Structure 1
Amino acid sequence: MARLDDTETFHSIMFPGHMHTKDSLNYAANFRFQDTDTVIVTYPKSGTTWMQEIITLVLNKGDPTVAQNQPNWARAPWLEQYYCADVLKATTGPRIITTHLPYHLLAPALQHSKAKVIYVARNLKDVSVSYYHFHKMANFLPDPGTFSDFLNDFLKGEVHYGSWFDHIKGWTSHAKDIQNFLYITYEEMWQDLLGSVRKVSHFLQFPLTEDELILAQKHCSFNSMKENAMVNYTLIPQEIMDHSKGKFMRNGKVGDWKNLFTEEQSRLVDDVYSSQMADSSLLFKWECPEESRRPLMTNYTSETYTQKITLLT
């Protein structure tokens, strides 16, 4: 299935036609979740691959065999992509399901479900930069033009998968309606990976020994994933994802936006963010220098959820 230049529009949101069809999107919206499912929810370029790897390693007690021999899209398929139904039919045991869909499209399917939902969020500026670079190498996404052009479209939600603001506010504002919900940020995972693996393990009610936690942490580090063909997308043909134009896993750092944003663009995003997120208490860490790495402090635990996150500066 090529359809590299096609776009599917579903409920006024654009999706790449290469992996999405009207049938696959309807399948996702009417999906029957099982209580044993674990659902990874993200806006694109927010730590999806990372969480897929963390969960895989937690469920295998840190053993990297599965993570190093099975592509992430096969062990944690995207619900809205056309191949998902076939992958899930062949799955034995608890299922890991990934989605970029907004809350309102999955709300009916999740109603009364005990599926465990993990929402991974990333700061807006880093997402926009990562998504821009991804557009440059992914031939199934439109040419992004200049970063200034892309950023304007991104802030207006006129990109594939829709608005970052709508996505994150939709899921977090309805967290109370989901029986088992964990909110975690990319920045938290980057700054305290061992603590994040421990948090996911606890949420999944799949306890690991300290040695198993450390082993899992080792194999889901950015450097480890960058070299793992099962997650770095080098298995994808060049005509679909052109790695000569960039790497799927570039650097994974927090604050990379500062290498591309102008001061004017940064102020623009700050203004739009303040306006769009005025009704949200979510807080994000916009930069995290290597020399100041230390565990983040939050006012939530894995068992409970609150929208506000307090971060050390």
Structure 2
Amino acid sequence: MPPRPNLFDFHGVSMSHYFTDNWENIQNFKARPDDVLIATYPKAGTTWVSYILDLLYFSQPDRQKSTPIHERVPFLEIRIPNICSGTELADRVDTSSRLIKTHLPVQLIPKSFWEQKCRVVYVARNAKDSAVSYFHFDRMNLAQPEPGDWNSYLQRFMDGKVVFGSWYDHVTGWWERKQSHPKLHYMFFEEMVEDTGREIDNLCSFLGLTSTAEEKEQIRDLVRFDNMKKNDMTNYSKAKVMDFKISPFMRKGKVGDWKNHFTITQNEQFDEDYKKKMKNTTLQFRTEV
């Protein structure tokens, strides 16, 4: 791997070059009407929802056992040297409905997704667990900027100085878009943990998919955290940019792990900052289930 990338301001959003090097192709990407865009801030259950949707749409055993999830659900904006870019991978997908994932804030999404009236599944996770999960991810992902220590990282997270920018802007920007875009399904990580079966039912309703109770039960079992963590097709163990000696890609998948990281002072400062930044939105989160 080359040295870890630096963070820079890109259209008002903190980014690294791995997500901007292919910008012209990203912005000119040709979405199709039956594409499903999976949008999240990093570490909000992206792989979890990607796997659920992949199983709902394409349950073929060969596909599930031979192709890693990041190839089945291309990551639109990524471009790492000597690896197929996200846009190239998406263009190669030959299924009728393409599942495509993105971490871009709503204002940077290619316009063709809106023009084609594509369905969008957005997943949001509470800020405290997002910060903890992103910190551990940045420690082990060598394609991310150096995270430093937890205390300085938490401050940068609050300031939006992490890749893909401000969590606050991201979750509220997509929440506002939901009000005007009827084909946007806004989900919460905490509700998925609380009742995965219910959330699968809600996804089926939104996407117009029918599955039997038996099929849904099978999916619910396959997407359990422990099963996904053991599954080489979903746990990113084949990704060369990740150092599993530092931390696994799939670490805990819990709600409330922030309590093991935040000091009392950090929690008070975070809560005060959170109130200011979230005072103008109807969006609400739970930090425990």
Q: Same fold (TM over 0.5)?
A: yes
Partner of 2:88: 86
Runs (4+) of structure 1 exceeding 6 A deviation are none
- Contact persistence 1:13–1:162 (CA under 8 A): yes
- 2:109 partner SS: helix
Please report how far the alpha carbon of residue 276 of structure 1 lies from its aligned counterpart in structure 2 after TM superposition. 0.6
Counterpart mapping for 1:14-93 below 5 A: 14-17=14-17, 19-22=18-21, 24-61=22-59, 65-82=62-79, 83-92=85-94, 93=96
- Contact persistence 1:56–1:66 (CA under 8 A): no
5+ residue gaps, structure 1, are 289-313
Decide which moves more: 242-251 or 99-108. 99-108
Please report how far the alpha carbon of residue 211 of structure 1 lies from its aligned counterpart in structure 2 after TM superposition. 0.3
- Contact persistence 2:65–2:233 (CA under 8 A): yes
1:180 aligns to 2:183 (yes or no): yes
Please report how far the alpha carbon of residue 279 of structure 1 lies from its aligned counterpart in structure 2 after TM superposition. 0.8
- 2:250 partner SS: coil
1:106 aligns to 2:109 (yes or no): yes
Deviation track 1:18-39 (CA, whole Å, cap 9, x = no partner) reads: x4343x2232233222110000
Q: Give the share of equivalent positions with the same residue, in percent.
A: 35
- Contact persistence 2:4–2:143 (CA under 8 A): yes
Decide which moves more: 86-95 or 37-46. 86-95
Report the CA distance shift for 1:35/1:249 in structure 2 as closer, same or farther (over 3 A).
same
5+ residue gaps, structure 2, are 80-84
Q: Distance in 2 between matches of 1:112 and 1:179?
A: 13
Please report how far the alpha carbon of residue 112 of structure 1 lies from its aligned counterpart in structure 2 after TM superposition. 3.1
Partner of 2:82: none
Decide which moves more: 176-185 or 153-162. 176-185
1:5 aligns to 2:5 (yes or no): yes
- Contact persistence 1:128–1:151 (CA under 8 A): yes
CA RMSD of aligned residues (A): 1.8
Decide which moves more: 137-146 or 278-287. 137-146
Q: Distance in 1 between matches of 2:87 and 2:282?
A: 37
Q: Distance in 2 between matches of 1:32 and 1:10?
A: 22
**What letter is aligned with 1:49?**
T
Report the CA distance shift for 1:135/1:176 in structure 2 as closer, same or farther (over 3 A).
same
Equivalent residue in structure 2 for 1:95, among 90, 95, 98? 98
- Contact persistence 1:8–1:20 (CA under 8 A): no
- 2:245 partner SS: helix
1:268 aligns to 2:269 (yes or no): yes
Report the CA distance shift for 1:7/1:265 in structure 2 as closer, same or farther (over 3 A).
closer
Please report how far the alpha carbon of residue 273 of structure 1 lies from its aligned counterpart in structure 2 after TM superposition. 1.2
**What letter is aligned with 1:16?**
S
Q: Distance in 2 between matches of 1:14 and 1:157?
A: 7
Q: Distance in 2 between matches of 1:229 and 1:9?
A: 35
Please report how far the alpha carbon of residue 225 of structure 1 lies from its aligned counterpart in structure 2 after TM superposition. 0.6
Aligned length: 283
**What letter is aligned with 1:70?**
T
Q: Distance in 2 between matches of 1:12 and 1:129?
A: 24
Report the CA distance shift for 1:89/1:30 in structure 2 as closer, same or farther (over 3 A).
closer
**TM-score, reference length from structure 1:** 0.85
- 1:14 partner SS: strand
Q: Distance in 1 between matches of 2:65 and 2:265?
A: 43
Report the CA distance shift for 1:87/1:3 in structure 2 as closer, same or farther (over 3 A).
farther
- 1:287 partner SS: coil
**TM-score, reference length from structure 2:** 0.92
1:243 aligns to 2:244 (yes or no): yes
- 2:235 partner SS: coil
Q: Distance in 2 between matches of 1:49 and 1:84?
A: 15
Decide which moves more: 2-11 or 249-258. 2-11
1:210 aligns to 2:213 (yes or no): yes
Please report how far the alpha carbon of residue 171 of structure 1 lies from its aligned counterpart in structure 2 after TM superposition. 0.9
Q: Distance in 2 between matches of 1:255 and 1:68?
A: 32
Q: Distance in 2 between matches of 1:6 and 1:146?
A: 16
